[in-house]
Chains A and B, each alone.
Chain A
């Protein structure tokens, strides 16, 4: 009885020192988030408001998105619509080709990850450089982000020191974070200058103003977009918010939830192209509008991509982002992967003890744990239920539906204690791998009651 997740998690946990460090690092972020959330007496009302606003926005997409488009055009931007990942990639490529771009700098965007933009552009001869430090690290290492907000959270500073030594010629053995950050800055500055165009994702798109809002800490998105006259911003269509008042609800929640900061260092509103430049905005669906029809799962569209559910998830913290088979890990990743393709991603559904911490931490009240429970119910119908689990469940059903069988089984159970250890603690017994078996009582409650011993 195992899934791709459980096997990868077991592997991750073999390096117990690193696993402990991973857990503690993310728990620190959760604690920072707790302190920040408690500094606002209106925190729970903000969550309610965020949820209500998202439910409103996502059920009024047509009018809000067209309002956004009209305002963005009025601001001088060019608006593109992409139905799926391919249209999104091709739109970006066409804009870049039309302007003869060879070197392209982009800030962090989970949408770009979702649509595999970088390999596509590289395949079409456009060198694409990530400007967010964490993203740059994983790009140079040729690995994927393991967290949606902290993409390199699984990598230790010593590894980054060795990487920068190779890639940027830093001092051997120096893994001081400030030193390495300065080295990365110097290195990226050159690329910023040489690049021909810049791209960002978006945290929010404001319908009433046609603005795209990008929240970052390093200022890398802003350098890119300031230096280059050709700018692209792309967002998934659920990023739309009605107006600036509602935006305020989300910006108050986002950084506090995600990284435990009162706000991100930079919250940039992009509306107009630079003088003589072009500003292209791409609105992407890629399966999102289909989620609107899934009434049990529609609240996944509330997600702000803050990462709080990952930081709080006891399973994510102890198994790492790579143990999930979808590019977004953790509770929201489990749900989004099942909405994307359940037959491909069902292995992630095991990665949940149903502790419901995620549902309580989420700033937009996505019912993450409740939805994972529902996905588990769907696995059998998809033919993806674990056979051993189903067998155990069926056997339990038969025994539990017949009190006589239950009572007989319980009566016989203490005999198990008399069996030789190797028979009980075999490879087939996952419980016994790290735990002693529960010891059955000599007499069950049912039996004690019948004999009048309960008094």
Chain B
């Protein structure tokens, strides 16, 4: 065991997989499951999840999100924690479900139980070590909602002491070099439907974000939100830029991968073969 989880042994963790992770980055979901199990937790996946409703709500259509919120809230009613690999989706549930579900006869189940997986591992599980190794230079993508709504790191606008939970977690990985770009929490320009309604600004923001990540000399951009990474990956692939994206969970779960499953589409998205940790659980 890498951590003393006696206090968590009896907890039931419901794995929350956002729609785009489900469809585009299932390997991030698999890595999340393996990592939580590796940490000695009782993890289950309430089947047939779709979407938390954030894309519609951020675009201005909260009504389209209501039924999804109800379904998701019901699905996770029996769990002690709801944990998913997306800061943005987690905080949407936390901040908006109480209002979306205000007409229900019961209190929103998920509001206080929902965690982004990084915040959950950092604050609740608190492992002393991880078994992962990642001999690469990574640039942390501090995604807006993770930083400013969930508090995964200190927002650059605020006069509070620096902290960064992603950096702390990555520091548990062997052989890794961790950097942050200049303007370390400036928006990458994804923003849900913003990315298509304001596509010129969105792409301009993405380009300058990627450039700042590349200026660090990093091989990978890593963060807690696949959505921001998906947007940046789209630009990286279009412009053939010499940097890759990887969800932080894929690094933290390094060595827990099962190579017999080919999770990705035609382009490799996970790290290369050097990405390995030791297999002991």
Contact = CB atoms under 8 A, between A and B. Distances in A.
Given A37-B159, A377-B60, A396-B51, A449 B199 contact: no
B29 A445 contact: yes
Interface in B153-202: 155-160, 183, 185-187, 189-202
Contacts of A441: 23-27, 263-265
Given A314-B187, A314-B205, A385-B61, A431 B23 contact: no
Interface in A398-455: 399-401, 403, 406-407, 410, 413-414, 417, 430-431, 433-446, 448-450, 453-455
Given A352-B194, A377-B60, A445-B29, A9 B201 contact: yes
A9 B195 CA distance: 13
B261 interface: yes
> Which of B21, B49, B60, B196 has the most C-beta atoms of chain A within 10 angstroms of its own C-beta?
B60
Interface string B197-220: 111111111111000000000000
Given A314-B205, A376-B58, A400-B19, A436 B197 contact: no
Contacts of A454: 29-30, 33, 45
Interface in B105-155: 144-145, 148-149, 155
Contacts of B20: 438
A390 interface: yes
B5 interface: no
Contacts of B8: none
B190 A312 contact: no
Contacts of B190: 353
Given A360-B148, A389-B59, A442-B265, A431 B64 contact: no
Nearest to B198: A6
A435 B201 CA distance: 13
B159 A379 contact: no
B230 interface: yes
A193 B90 CA distance: 63
B162 to A, nearest CB: 11
B68 interface: yes
Given A318-B201, A350-B197, A435 B71 contact: no
Given A397-B68, A442-B262, A6 B199 contact: yes
B55 A393 contact: yes
Nearest to A3: B197
Size range of the interface on B? Answer: 35 or more
B238 interface: yes
Contacts of B74: none
Contact of B23 (A9, A19, A354, A410): A410
A128 interface: no
A440 B265 contact: yes
Nearest to A2: B197
Contacts of A396: 51, 55-56, 64
Contacts of A406: 19, 48, 50-51
A13 interface: yes
A44 interface: yes
Nearest to A36: B159
Chain B interface, >50% SS class: helix
B263 A350 contact: no
Contacts of A41: 159
Nearest to A27: B183
Nearest to A41: B159
Contacts of B192: 354
Given A2-B197, A434-B238, A359 B61 contact: no
B73 to A, nearest CB: 14
A389 B197 CA distance: 8
Nearest to B195: A431
A417 B25 CA distance: 15
Contact of B50 (A44, A357, A403): A403
Contacts of A450: 47
A390 B193 CA distance: 11
Interface of A: 1-3, 5-6, 9-10, 13, 19, 23, 27, 34, 37-38, 40-41, 43-44, 312, 314-315, 318-319, 349-357, 359-361, 373, 376-380, 385-386, 389-390, 392-394, 396-397, 399-401, 403, 406-407, 410, 413-414, 417, 430-431, 433-446, 448-450, 453-455
Interface of B: 17, 19-27, 29-30, 33-34, 45, 47-51, 53, 55-65, 67-68, 71, 144-145, 148-149, 155-160, 183, 185-187, 189-208, 230-231, 233-235, 237-238, 258, 261-267
28 contacts: A5-B198, A6-B198, A10-B200, A13-B201, A44-B160, A314-B186, A353-B190, A355-B144, A355-B148, A356-B144, A356-B148, A357-B186, A377-B62, A380-B60, A389-B193, A390-B61, A392-B59, A397-B56, A401-B71, A435-B234, A438-B20, A440-B265, A441-B23, A441-B263, A442-B264, A442-B265, A445-B17, A446-B49
Chain A to chain B: the 9 pairs with minimum beta-carbon distance, closest first: A435-B234, A353-B191, A376-B60, A434-B203, A355-B187, A403-B48, A10-B200, A43-B159, A360-B157
